[in-house]
Amino acid sequence: MTPPPAATHAQPLRSEAPMTARSEAALPPAAAGEPQTRNRGRLKLPPLEPRIAIAVFAAAMAALPLIPGVPVFAITLIGNIGLAALVALGLVLLTGVGGMTSFGQAAFCGFGAYTTAVLSTTYGWSPWATLPVALLVSGSAAVVLGLLTVRLSGHFLPLGTLAWGISLYYLFGTLDILGRHDGISGIPPFSIAGHDLIDPRTVHYLIWGLVIGAAILTMHLLDSRVGRAIRALRRGQLAGESFGIDAARMKLIVFVYAALLAGLSGWLYAHVTRTVTQTPFGINAGIEYLFMAVLGGAGQIFGAVVGAGLVTVLKEALQRVLPQVFGHGVQLEAVVFGILLVGLLQVAREGVWPHIAALWPARGRPVPPDAPALARRSASAAPAEKLLALDGAVKKYGGLTAVNAVSFAVGRGEIVALIGPNGAGKSTTFNLITGVTRLTTGAVRFEGMDIAGAPPQEIARLGIARTFQHVKLNPEMSVLENVALGAHLRGHAGVLSSMLRLDRRDEARLLAEARRQIERVGLAEHMLKPAGSLALGQQRVVEIARALALDPVLLLLDEPAAGLRHKEKEALAALLRSLRAQGMSVLLVEHDMGFVMGLTDHIVVLDFGTKIAEGPPAAIKTNPQVLEAYLGGVA
């Protein structure tokens, strides 16, 4: 084998391997290279409210066609940007926020466009009347494809979208009713009171009115209980599910929402261009939309408009310039796009918008004001029962028995510790209780009810809240929002009420509850910081606050004291004691024996998946078997 070509190591050597924190789930990690800090000291504009920004933008868009001398082709181009921005907006939500990459969005435009084209030509419907049907068709297609593909893990989802994107493209060109390869022409324009909107300057208002409306609704959606749940999913589902979020349903909602925006764009497109063929709904168009979302800044609402603008203008420019230089331009445009896409991911994976946004100072969110407390869980009906009881719990992985016939109980107002060497089955036991893993045999009873086999969302609903051995917070969301996620089940606002801003009272109570829990665990000063900026030990405490926000009956804490300083450990112990005094039960896994011995009422010792002892701390300390297996022979 010849020596390798000079392989330099220009990029930091953070392999994707588990040595480092990994974030596979998310597309272009926007966190890379914080533009805010990079731009410090440069030009700063006065603070800008998004509300005002949108109003200014809307006013500018409204004024544009009225300015004398603005050529019609420019208005047409801006209209095309608007059409693309609608699709890109959906992708921003789907890809940038939800972490699902789709190459197939153009197909949903096709559903919208073909639906209205057929209805308004063959059946003579008014373009306005076709809108609900167009949306219904795109939405239904999204539900079907979404049910099939949203559950796909990781990279299988984008491959799936690629496949059905191509499939649908060929299907559009095959069906007789859609005019096969010739498509459908002679589509009527929009008209208002007998007045046709043929002039790009009039239809401009319709397009941009819809874009701005969609942007506002999307912004509202993201800044809500549902939006928080969607944003949290990007960093992994387990944490969200442990607080009652139905991840699959959330993903489907986002998927359908994005498809509806694409369908809306297709509906507009059909009546603006008045001809529909399969070409604009193929996979290349789908790639282009994704390019817009990534270029603008995946996850940024305004990025969708910026990305759509840049790509559309660039495409127009290339279509004018390239044929003059090379004689044939259509595919060369693809070369330029391809190279730009590759380059973009290498130099500015976070996209353009964060750099534009950095011109304005970061808008500090205020600490949420006090609000009426959320309803508490009603007291249990069967107080005599042990709160939690494991009865002969067994978990086998293939031939390996991770948990072997373990039985123990947690009483009300009791702090119980689960100790043992790593690999003894402590985390598996936690996962069995919280529904992450299924029991092989045995039973887990909570308030006398068998909960084995229930999914994490259901367990959370019953009042069991947990923290994780490896912190599972969304590092880019604030501490406040991370904790508010814990109160998810205690709020009620849905997608529609969030978009229409009917959720404010509900939202204020959730945030106030989050604030109270953060103050309770002593992290008030960090409330508005991104969770990822806290020390690891503090992040563990944030997880405790999040768990408390669920209003739990039982807290499961996985190594809560790891990484804490002595003083912080004392504060944590004091907090847990006060919770116990209020009737809360706690089951914890912990290695710090000083912490465990001083705090707990009861200790269960596991070794090789088997319970080797249980009892009060004093008895465990002197138990010869425990000393031998875990604590080490008396030195």
Task: Please list every residue from 389 through 448 that binds other proteins, using CB under 8 A.
Answer: 421-423, 427, 431
Q: Does 5 bind other proteins (CB under 8 A)?
A: yes
Q: Which of 70, 171, 374, 489 binds other proteins (CB under 8 A)?
A: 171
| Cβ-based neighbours of 164, under 8 Å, separated by 6 or more | 104, 107, 145, 149
Q: Does 160 bind other proteins (CB under 8 A)?
A: yes
CB of 520 to other proteins, least distance (A): 23
Nearer to other proteins, 356 or 593 (CB): 593
Q: How far apart are the first and last CA of the chain?
A: 56
Q: Does 612 bind other proteins (CB under 8 A)?
A: no
Q: Which of 333, 350, 414, 513 binds other proteins (CB under 8 A)?
A: 333
Contact 545, 264 (CB under 8 A): no
Q: Does 628 bind other proteins (CB under 8 A)?
A: yes
Which span (337-345, 368-376, 405-413, 574-582) binds other proteins, by CB under 8 A? Answer: 337-345
Of 311, 281, 279, 280, nearest to 294 by C-alpha is 311
- Tokens matching residue 133: 């049907």
Q: Does 345 bind other proteins (CB under 8 A)?
A: yes
Q: Does 325 bind other proteins (CB under 8 A)?
A: no
C-alpha span between 549 and 488 (Å, rounded): 9
Which span (25-33, 83-91, 266-274, 309-317) binds other proteins, by CB under 8 A? Answer: 25-33
CB of 330 to other proteins, least distance (A): 9
Q: Does 170 bind other proteins (CB under 8 A)?
A: yes
**Cβ burial, residue 342 (10 Å; 0-12/13-18/19+):** exposed
At 497 the three-state DSSP class reads helix
- Tokens matching residue 72: 């019609």
Nearer to other proteins, 22 or 51 (CB): 22
Nearer to other proteins, 132 or 423 (CB): 423
Interface with other proteins in residues 206-265 (CB under 8 A): 236-238
Q: Does 287 bind other proteins (CB under 8 A)?
A: yes
Q: How far is CA 616 from CA 193, 291, 592, 619, in A?
A: 83, 61, 16, 6
CB of 24 to other proteins, least distance (A): 5
Residue whose entry in the numeric block shows the structure tokens 């700063």: 44
Nearer to other proteins, 103 or 408 (CB): 103
C-alpha span between 142 and 171 (Å, rounded): 16
Q: Does 608 bind other proteins (CB under 8 A)?
A: yes
CB of 607 to other proteins, least distance (A): 8
Q: Does 332 bind other proteins (CB under 8 A)?
A: yes
Q: Which of 113, 559, 611, 623 binds other proteins (CB under 8 A)?
A: 559
Q: Does 31 bind other proteins (CB under 8 A)?
A: yes
- Tokens matching residue 456: 């994490």
CB of 608 to other proteins, least distance (A): 7
Nearer to other proteins, 222 or 348 (CB): 348
- Total residues in contact with other proteins, by rule CB under 8 A: 109
Q: Does 600 bind other proteins (CB under 8 A)?
A: no
Q: Which of 537, 570, 571, 612 binds other proteins (CB under 8 A)?
A: 537
At 94 the three-state DSSP class reads helix
φ, ψ for residue 566, nearest 5 deg: -55, -50
Contact 429, 596 (CB under 8 A): no
| Cβ-based neighbours of 583, under 8 Å, separated by 6 or more | 412, 413
- Tokens matching residue 49: 């409210």
Q: Does 324 bind other proteins (CB under 8 A)?
A: no
Contact 154, 161 (CB under 8 A): no
Q: Does 482 bind other proteins (CB under 8 A)?
A: no
C-alpha span between 51 and 68 (Å, rounded): 28
Nearer to other proteins, 135 or 308 (CB): 308
Q: Which of 450, 565, 578, 598 binds other proteins (CB under 8 A)?
A: 565
Q: Does 492 bind other proteins (CB under 8 A)?
A: no
Give just the sign of the alpha carbon dihedral 270, 275, 281, 284.
Answer: negative
Of 437, 427, 459, nearest to 446 by C-alpha is 459
Interface with other proteins in residues 40-99 (CB under 8 A): none
